[in-house]
Structure 1
Amino acid sequence: MTATADVTALEHVLRERHSCRGFLPDPLDDAVIERILGMAQRAPSWCNAQPWRVTITRGAATEQFRTALRAHMHDTGSAPDIAFPAAYRGIYQERRRTCGYQLYDAVGVAHGDREASARQARENFRLFGAPHVAIVSSDAALGAYGAVDCGAFVTCFMLAAQALGVASIAQAALTAFSPFLHGHFGIPEDRSIVCGISFGYEDTAHPANRFRTSRAPLEEVLAWQG
């Protein structure tokens, strides 16, 4: 019975978690954040290296970062520590477009309205109004495998947050300004910034939170052998 309850609870958290794009300004208690981190710390990693390090803002520090980032983004081009995808092809491009169209439909951006879509994209750098952001970095010497381990940590972080009633969104967009992030947060140059996670309580009335993405059926991702 315990195993059944565990599976049911996990399935529920997986179904309910979604990328939140509109937050309430209310901050979380430190104890809640530490509980999320404590659960996320159970993430698996190669040789138990645990390469992730996390910088989390709260209060005035979040507002200072939000303001500084939005000012900085107008002065420089994209410079992520980890290269962005070379291309989205085939089904990956289709899924990306579908997600974008769902978001635009939810917030009332007409297809082809580049000014409005750019305005919505800039919400990334307002952290969607979240009261906290976590900046996740990896030891650069671990390369892709360190980033993969950090991906496991990010997943565990977001699932733990969801289980505690806290919304979140992982943001690769922030890493476009990695040199700025290194300087602003004092993150050493021998660490690669993997992503940000904006988090807090969801604004359930925000139109950007009214859609959900789909998942591919198993036959699209599974290849049996034997």
Structure 2
Amino acid sequence: MTAPIDTLEDLLASRYSCRAYKTKQVPRDIIDRILNAAQKTASWCNSQPWQVTITSGNATMKFRDVLYPVAAASTPSTGDFEFPREYRGVYLDRRRESGFQLYNTLGIARGDKAAYAEQALQNFNFFGAPHVAIITSDEALGVYGAVDCGGYVNNFMLAAQALGLATVPQAALAFHSAVVRQHFGMSDDRRVVCGISFGYPDREHKVNSYRTNRAQLDDVATFVE
């Protein structure tokens, strides 16, 4: 018998941000199972602030056709939440390491800003994923609603991993929240937290061959006795 903690640790260790997918659509019953699992996410006062809009098939392509040109034109951000003012210290180091891992895997030369920008735009191609989930929160709940949605996103991804799917969480899709709201006919009180592109991974693509590192416990935990 496998202990529950072993199963959880295996899922956490095996999940990664997938940036190349097969075109095969995920059956609706599998998506429903992911959603039912993620719905168990804990939230402040059990408010469950998340709403999820999921695209499939032509709907994914239509969303891409709307969002990609906006991003490619360097349209000013309309994000609903303030993005990081800056990355500094160890946070900057980790961000750079992650970026260089991606670029090195794809053979992008260091300092090639045009290639960096082109790769960043792949966010708005959803990295070829057949499905996108847009996660929104209620405006009145502010940052705590967004925090609750973060827990939902993590559980969504772990459930997908357990079912043989791959995911990539994308804050980039929240850069143009006004476009997202308009395209899907969302009410003005919905705040776009992020997107999750998902589907069956292309395990042969080189972009899926590397894994990011994690800090050691001594770097993040303080014990008070």
Q: TM-score, normalised by structure 2?
A: 0.97
Measure the CA separation in 2 of the matches of 1:179 and 1:208. 30
1:102 paired residue number:
101
Count of paired positions: 224
1:38 paired residue number:
36
2:59 paired residue number:
61
Report the alpha carbon displacement of residue 78 of structure 1 after superposing the two structures with TM.
Answer: 1.1
Measure the CA separation in 1 of the matches of 2:58 and 2:98. 33
Report the alpha carbon displacement of residue 83 of structure 1 after superposing the two structures with TM.
Answer: 1.1
Measure the CA separation in 2 of the matches of 1:101 and 1:72. 26
Measure the CA separation in 2 of the matches of 1:31 and 1:167. 16
1:91 paired residue number:
90
1:23 paired residue number:
21
Per the alignment, in what secondary structure is the counterpart of residue 175 of structure 2?
Answer: helix
CA RMSD of aligned residues (A): 0.9
Measure the CA separation in 2 of the matches of 1:72 and 1:104. 24
1:6 paired residue number:
4
Consecutive unaligned residues of structure 2, counting only runs of 5 or more, are none
1:203 paired residue number:
202
Report the alpha carbon displacement of residue 126 of structure 1 after superposing the two structures with TM.
Answer: 0.2
Per the alignment, in what secondary structure is the counterpart of residue 150 of structure 1?
Answer: helix
Measure the CA separation in 2 of the matches of 1:79 and 1:66. 17
Moved over 3 A (4+): none
Measure the CA separation in 1 of the matches of 2:121 and 2:209. 19
Q: Deviations over 1:105-161 (max 9, x none)?
A: 011100001111111111000000000000000001101100000000000000000
Q: Is residue 64 of structure 2 the alignment partner of residue 49 of structure 1?
A: no
Consecutive unaligned residues of structure 1, counting only runs of 5 or more, are none
Per the alignment, in what secondary structure is the counterpart of residue 22 of structure 2?
Answer: coil
Per the alignment, in what secondary structure is the counterpart of residue 135 of structure 1?
Answer: strand
Measure the CA separation in 2 of the matches of 1:153 and 1:169. 14
After TM superposition, the structure 1 stretch with the greater mean CA deviation from structure 2, 194-203 or 5-14, is 5-14
2:155 paired residue number:
156
Report the alpha carbon displacement of residue 75 of structure 1 after superposing the two structures with TM.
Answer: 6.3
Measure the CA separation in 1 of the matches of 2:186 and 2:79. 14
Q: TM-score, normalised by structure 1?
A: 0.97
Give, as a single letter, the amino acid of the residue that structure 2 aligns with 1:52: W
Work out the percentage of aligned pairs sharing the same amino acid. Answer: 52
Per the alignment, in what secondary structure is the counterpart of residue 125 of structure 1?
Answer: helix
Measure the CA separation in 2 of the matches of 1:76 and 1:214. 32
Give, as a single letter, the amino acid of the residue that structure 1 aligns with 2:173: L
Query: Relative to 1, partners in 2 of residues 1:75 and 1:18: Cα closer, same or farther, differing over 3 Å?
Result: closer
1:79 paired residue number:
78
